[in-house]
Structure 1
Amino acid sequence: MTLINGLPAHVLFVHVVVVLIPLTALALVTAALWPRAARRLGVVLPLVALVALVSVPLTTHAGEWLERHVDSDPLVRRHTELGDGLLPWALGLFVLAAVVWWAGRRTEAEPGQGGGALRWSALPVRIVVGVLSLAVAVGAVVDVYRIGDSGAKAAWHDAYSKTATKSADGS
């Protein structure tokens, strides 16, 4: 999909990525560090992470089409290079969201589990998953910021005047 209602699809898809990646990151860290939140979020956490994951290649594909239809520019090339790096972060968010959801379900299903098996409620497991979730979440959000900043610079660097062309009253 490259055009939507006559507009480049990338310009529209990017909003899905900009909203869902940070939202998924926040929900993941919250659920990983707070088991009650994981239970309340339930299957919504991995589903949102899946939609975020799928939106990344859709957006980059539409962006590659757009890149071929604008003037060649170092800022556009930089934005494209950065955009190609988001997919591993989105995949990491999805995998960890699925792990947190699955572990939360196992804890609910087996509340009386005994023995030496590692349980989701075991502090070392929660710490490892929490640290991994925090690292991937921060990496993903920082990457989204860097990509968005480079895209804004590519789109707007020569597209406006730094001084006002009209006064505040329109004259």
Structure 2
Amino acid sequence: MDWQFGGIPLHPLFVHLTSVAVPVAALTAIIVAVWPRARRWLAVGAPIIGLVALASVPLATQSGEWLEHREKETALLERHTELADGMLPWSVAVFAFLVLWWAWHRYGTDRIAGRGAVRAINIIGPVLLIVVGVVSMIEVIIIGHAGATSVWTD
């Protein structure tokens, strides 16, 4: 695919989308994990936010790989591309846990007979959401910084 529009590479556009969508999805994951009222307010919106973030990552990486083949290879660019390959699993995790957490509160809590299982899920679920949210935010910051360094360093 030709990842340009009017001769301008689309990678910066997709990078900015990812730089906003991933932290918003991560913050949404953390908020729904710790604030029950927000979980009810966001409802299915939380997984949709996670889906937008997830969709933005392959767009940014594919357009970045296209652009990489047209740029001078440097150690900084190589570091950025290697780091970027690690973003997708974290975005998948944020999306998956947001879907599971929404489904659990929408359908699961009333169907499980054992109070111990409900309690365990209500402890483990938020911890997982917080962990994947924090790590995905850290990842996008590190990747973005590496990309900016590779562009703006002589």
Q: Please give the TM-score of this superposition, normalised by the length of structure 2.
A: 0.91
Q: Number of residues paired by the alignment?
A: 153
RMSD (Å) for aligned C-alpha atoms: 1.8
CA displacement, residues 131-151 of structure 1 (integer Å, 9 cap, x when unaligned):
111111111011101100100
Please tell me whether the aligned partners of residues 25 and 93 of structure 1 are also in contact (alpha carbons under 8 angstroms). Answer: yes
Aligned pairs (5 A) from 1:9-158: 9-106=10-107, 110=110, 115-116=113-114, 122-158=118-154
CA displacement, residues 86-144 of structure 1 (integer Å, 9 cap, x when unaligned):
00000000000101111221268x4xx6842667xx44322211111111111101110
Ranges of 4+ aligned residues in structure 1 off by more than 6 Å:
none
Structure having the higher helix fraction is 2
For structure 2, which runs of at least 5 residues remain unmatched after alignment?
none
Identity %: 40
Please tell me whether the aligned partners of residues 89 and 140 of structure 1 are also in contact (alpha carbons under 8 angstroms). Answer: yes
1:34 CA displacement: 2.1
Q: Please give the TM-score of this superposition, normalised by the length of structure 1.
A: 0.83
| Alpha-carbon separation, structure 1, partners of 2:61 and 2:52 | 15
Please tell me whether the aligned partners of residues 17 and 52 of structure 1 are also in contact (alpha carbons under 8 angstroms). Answer: yes
Paired amino acid for 1:40: W
Bigger Rg over Cα: 1
